[in-house]
């Protein structure tokens, strides 16, 4: 399942998948950096989640604004999943998930305000223990578990 590519605004910004308005176009680290760059005039290639998070904790206005928006987008997307599937555990991974405990705590607080009580009462939101490496490990596992399409004798 690629939850990041659920379209939440058919007229939204372009996504890396080629579609428009995907959840990922709003709630990814890339979207956070682009949002911060737009507000501050800083080149996105000079930014990272660490810079934005540090500025957020320092109370810098632009960082506060973009992080609050990011956290709201994350909570709204996760609330939708919880309202539909009522999972026992929802694991957040990716580039910003290792920003610290505040991240999943803040998302959990916001989800608790929005989710239907029965769907969220037995759910917990946690950070991936593998952080941003989870997707790399998933890709590697697919490579090594996929049957070979070509044999060494070039027969198909």
- pTM, to two decimals: 0.81
pLDDT reported for residue 156: 46
pLDDT reported for residue 43: 98
The crossing angle, in degrees rounded to 10, of helices 49-57 and 29-40 is 60
| C-alpha span between 107 and 58 (Å, rounded) | 20
Q: How does residue 130 score in pLDDT terms, banded at 50, 70 and 90?
A: low
What residue ranges define each of the domains in the chain, with the CATH number in brackets? Answer: 3-145 (3.30.420.40)
């Amino acid at each position: 399942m690629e939850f990041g590519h659920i379209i939440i605004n058919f007229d939204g910004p372009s996504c890396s998948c080629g579609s428009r308005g995907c959840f990922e176009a709003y709630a990814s680290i890339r979207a956070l950096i682009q949002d911060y760059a737009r507000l501050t005039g800083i080149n996105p290639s000079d930014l990272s989640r660490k810079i934005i998070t540090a500025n957020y904790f320092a109370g810098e206005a632009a960082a506060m604004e973009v992080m609050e928006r990011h956290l709201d987008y994350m909570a709204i997307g996760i609330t939708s999943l919880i309202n539909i599937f009522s999972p026992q555990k929802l694991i957040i991974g990716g580039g910003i998930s290792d920003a610290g405990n505040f991240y999943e705590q803040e998302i959990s607080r916001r989800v608790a305000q929005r989710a239907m009580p029965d769907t969220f009462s037995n759910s917990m939101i946690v950070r991936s223990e593998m952080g941003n490496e989870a997707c790399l490990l998933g890709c590697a596992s697919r490579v090594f578990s996929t049957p070979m399409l070509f044999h060494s004798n070039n027969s198909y």
